[in-house]
């Protein structure tokens, strides 16, 4: 594939033919903001935040979906672009529940960061925020339609990457919704609670259920003997959160902290994880000797079990 030469904000750059303006700008270390774009997903062009000016064109082009052409001259940060981009973000905010201090994504929200970048503090546009979705039973994944910006990242991840298809886009324009089939809750459809939709959501429209308050209530209850069981990976992963070197083992610190806030006992899953491996090994040997169902798959992940139950029930007997 041949290369093409383009100029972005006065910087000449040579990129492969078929490269989008957004990809070319990133190669040139030029920031073009986006909300719907996500690496390794198909191009959606839903948010229009990445608009740019292309010399010789009367209208804006979306950087994420427009391939570069040889000799193209692009401007990403003119006053015209900034004003239009600001209006687009304000339109998104008009349909967004802006209660940032209460939001799960506060401080880690792409829309919030974009508002800071564009110096948007409020919008005078008429609000059309949908009502929030109530806490869906005890499901580990919670949706809040009032914060959804219709970027489509979660739909793409659920359907094309994970192959589950628990959520879809329905309706058009202001009536567009991202929802489980037939408007049901997630615990009523074939959601495996993998959490990948949470990872790609740029705002707080999908998040993990938080049981922190329940834990504190249990710790305050003098009639309860509260214990905690710690997964093996935590001792290595948690140190980075407190500024330690990656891979730092903080087992002692974790135990001391958990005991200090009120847990009566702290148990280590490390030993029981070894027991699980031994049991699965024994089960595999038994299957090999007695013509059991093969191959044998681990059953340690609840999400994996739900995936098999929903989509490959013929392999249920292959689970350990």
In a domain, 118, yes or no: no
Q: Are 255 and 305 contained in the same domain?
A: no
Question: Does 103 reside within a domain?
Answer: no
Q: How many domains does the chain have?
A: 4
The answer to whether residues 70 and 13 belong to one domain is yes
Q: Which of 47, 77, 107 is the last residue of a domain?
A: 77
Burial class (CB in 10 A: 0-12, 13-18, 19+), 42: exposed
Task: Say if 21 falls within a structural domain.
Answer: yes
CATH number of the domain within which 187 lies:
3.30.70.20
Write out pLDDT tens, residues 45-85. 888 999 999 999 999 999 999 999 999 999 999 999 999 99
pLDDT at 262: 94
pLDDT at 286 (0 to 100): 93
In a domain, 117, yes or no: no
Is 92 within 8 Å of 149 (Cβ atoms)? yes
Q: What is the CATH number of the domain that holds 26?
A: 3.10.20.740
Predicted confidence at residue 137, as pLDDT, reads 62
Three state DSSP letters for 51-104: EEEECCCCCCEECCCCECCCCCEEECCCHHHHHHHHHHHHHHHHCCCCCHHHCC
Could you tell me if residue 29 is inside a domain? yes
User: 300 versus 105: which is more confidently predicted?
Assistant: 105
129-138, 236-245, 286-295: which has the minimum mean pLDDT? 129-138
Of the residues 208, 223, 245, the one at which a domain ends: 208
Q: Could you tell me the residue range of the domain that residue 37 belongs to? A: 3-77
What mean pLDDT do residues 284-300 have? 91
Residue 178 within a domain? yes
Each residue's pLDDT tens digit, 251-271: 899 999 999 999 999 998 888
Tell me the pLDDT band of 44, cut-offs 50, 70 and 90. confident
Please indicate, yes or no, if residue 84 is contained in any of the structural domains: no
Average pLDDT, the chain: 90
């Amino acid at each position: 594939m041949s290369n093409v030469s383009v100029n972005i904000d006065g910087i000449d750059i040579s990129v492969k033919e078929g490269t989008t303006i957004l990809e070319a700008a990133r190669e040139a270390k030029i920031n073009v903001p986006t909300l719907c774009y996500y690496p390794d997903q198909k191009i959606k062009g839903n948010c229009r935040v990445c608009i740019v000016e292309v010399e010789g064109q009367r209208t804006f082009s979306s950087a994420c979906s427009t391939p570069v052409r040889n000799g193209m001259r692009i401007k990403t940060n003119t006053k015209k672009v900034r004003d239009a981009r600001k209006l687009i973000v304000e339109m998104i905010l008009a349909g967004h529940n802006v209660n940032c201090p209460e939001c799960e994504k506060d401080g880690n929200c792409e829309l919030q960061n974009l508002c800071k970048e564009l110096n948007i503090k409020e919008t005078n546009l008429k609000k059309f925020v949908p009502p929030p979705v109530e806490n869906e039973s005890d499901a580990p994944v919670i949706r809040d339609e009032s914060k959804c910006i219709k970027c489509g990242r979660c739909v793409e991840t659920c359907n094309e990457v994970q192959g589950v298809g628990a959520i879809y886009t329905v309706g058009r324009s202001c009536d567009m919704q991202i929802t489980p089939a037939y408007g049901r809750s997630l615990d009523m459809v074939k959601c495996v609670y993998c959490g990948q939709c949470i990872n790609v959501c740029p705002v707080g429209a999908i998040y993990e259920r938080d049981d922190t308050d329940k834990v504190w209530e249990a710790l305050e209850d003098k009639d309860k003997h509260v214990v905690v069981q710690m997964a093996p990976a935590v001792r290595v992963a948690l140190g980075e959160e407190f500024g330690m070197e990656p891979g730092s083992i903080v087992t002692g610190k974790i135990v001391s902290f958990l005991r200090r806030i009120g847990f009566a006992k702290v148990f280590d899953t490390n030993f029981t994880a070894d027991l699980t491996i031994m049991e699965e090994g024994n089960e595999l040997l038994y299957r090999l000797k007695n013509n059991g169902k093969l191959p044998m798959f681990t059953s340690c992940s609840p999400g994996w079990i739900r995936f098999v139950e929903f989509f490959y029930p013929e392999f249920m007997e292959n689970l350990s």
